[in-house]
Chains A and B, each alone.
Chain A
Amino acid sequence: MARVLGLNGNAAAAQAMRQINPHVVAAYPITPQTDCVERFAEFVSEGLVDTEFVTVESEHSALSACIGAAVAGGRVITATSSQGLALMWEMLYIAASMRLPIVMMVVNRALSGNINIHCDHSDTMGARDAGWIQLFSENAQEVYDNMIQAVKVAEDMRVRLPVMVTQDGFIISHAVERVEMLEDEEVRIFVGSYKPLYPLLDVRNPVTYGPLDLFDYYFEHKRSEIEAVDNCLPVIEEVAEAFGKLSGRKYGLVEEYRLEDAEYAVVALGSTCGTAKEAIDSLRDRGRRVGLLKIRCFRPFPREAVVQALAPRKGIVVLDRSVTLGGFGGPVFTEVRSALYDLPVRPLVIDFYYGLGGRDIYVEDIEHAFARIEEVVRKGHVDQYIDYLGLRE
């Protein structure tokens, strides 16, 4: 039986962590993630979990402790934001290349400078090439659901990779919403007991993690890591289906919203998808054929699903909540546009930077973006690839 609670995104993540009951959590507080780890620390002090909770002096140490615990053979979770994720940088790649199934909840927050505590995706987008699976959440319910699925995906023997579950800072992390929770027992059975692979605590079978790896083998090891990351898409779908049977909530690599007969589509990640749905409903009422492609799984990038969903459209608007300074558009734009390259008839694609440093995005902004792409398609060519929403000129 499901329980319905009023939870913000941080609390939803903390509740999921309580039900998952990991062996080790090592984390360092950072706004806006602090709330999540504080709540989890309460569960630890109340004896509601068996977790060894490691308080550390930095995020670099947090992920280092997590890596140590994971190679020892434990189920491990951490959480961070923004500068904290940036400080974890070198350990991110190490966790992934050692194939450690660590789960990390990231509350998306802008990177300095200037210093800012509000939402954009520059922190996780900066980590997109590190070898972590990245699942974006639209609301607190999805944070809860993604955390539970993340454990199952990470630990699958065909995957064994770390997973980031993201939520938009303050917009999701601090807004109380209706969240439907599974029973503790249901989660316990769903995630199953942890099966360690090559644990260092198995002293009768010693192995070496992270040896010096030079020009003779480093490339081969990277090649097998590429294969591992690419191969986990079907597992993410499989886990989503099993979770759907348990919870009644359907997940995929992407979510299509009123896209079937749409001529124009907006592509977005995270909480903005909720705003986009509102804008689409309103435009549909006025007879416009518009829809949304929400990307839930950004890494690995679900190329086939994206192409299938976007191929029949005339024009596409990509919304990027992080900038690629000096690049040709934001990270979502470059992925989406590149994925569509081989189509015999390619839709026209434009990019909008928006929401940096927590700048609000409104229904009217998305309506404006649709108006822009309709104009581009009318003209038959793109005159400006990268534009801005909600920016004072």
Chain B
Amino acid sequence: MSRLKSWKELPMGGLILEAGNARTYKTGDWRTERPQLDKAKCINCFFCWAYCPDASVVVDADKGTMEGFDYDHCKGCGICASVCPKQAITMIPER
């Protein structure tokens, strides 16, 4: 999460002066549990990738491999862990 600005640093009127700044908003910090991948169990079936509602499963399409998670945007819903046929994903509480 980027540092929250003080009121003195903000543009007047609650305006947003640059376009496309939603990309700087890391929704991943809403998460209470994080998915963890056990590469040894993973069969690269891509079920997690297909089911993830936040497009936060990172895969290598060329190699056809599951690579992990985009923790900046994963909200920890646990669907990936639930649909995994090999129990290769476990949900770990965030601290």
Contacts and interface: CB of A to CB of B under 8 A. Distances in A.
Say whether A and B bind each other. yes
Interface of A: 97-100, 160, 197-198, 206-211, 213, 216-217, 219-221, 223-224, 227-228
A219 B4 CA distance: 12
Interface stretch (B6-14, B67-75, B76-84): B6-14
Contact of B7 (A208, A210, A223): A223
Nearest to B20: A206
Interface string B1-35: 00011111010111111010000000000000000
Interface of B: 4-8, 10, 12-17, 19
A98 B7 contact: no
A221 B17 contact: no
16 contacts: A97-B13, A98-B13, A98-B14, A99-B12, A100-B13, A206-B19, A207-B16, A207-B17, A208-B16, A209-B13, A217-B4, A217-B5, A220-B10, A221-B14, A223-B7, A224-B7
A217 B17 contact: no
Given A206-B19, A217-B4, 8 more contacts: A98-B13, A197-B12, A208-B15, A208-B16, A209-B13, A211-B16, A216-B4, A228-B12
* Max chain A C-beta neighbours (<10 A), residue from B4, B10, B13, B15: B13
A217 B13 contact: no
A228 B19 CA distance: 25
A225 to B, nearest CB: 8
Contact of A224 (B12, B16, B17): B12
Nearest to A216: B4
B16 A217 contact: no
A99 B6 contact: no
Report the 6 A-B pairs with minimum CB-CB distance, sorted nearest first.
A99-B13, A220-B7, A208-B16, A223-B7, A221-B14, A98-B13
Contacts of B4: 216-217
Contacts of B12: 99, 160, 197, 224, 228
Contacts of A211: 14, 16
Contacts of A160: 12-13
A213 B14 contact: yes
A220 B13 CA distance: 11
A224 B10 contact: yes
Contacts of B7: 219-221, 223-224, 227
A198 B15 contact: yes
Nearest to A206: B19
B33 to A, nearest CB: 22
A209 B7 CA distance: 17
A198 B44 CA distance: 50
Contacts of B13: 97-100, 160, 198, 209, 221
Contact of A210 (B6, B10, B14, B17): B14
Nearest to A224: B7
Most buried by A among B5, B12, B19: B12
A97 B17 contact: no
A27 B13 CA distance: 24
B30 to A, nearest CB: 12
B74 to A, nearest CB: 20
A217 B15 contact: no
Nearest to B25: A216
B28 to A, nearest CB: 15
Contacts of A227: 7
A224 B4 CA distance: 15
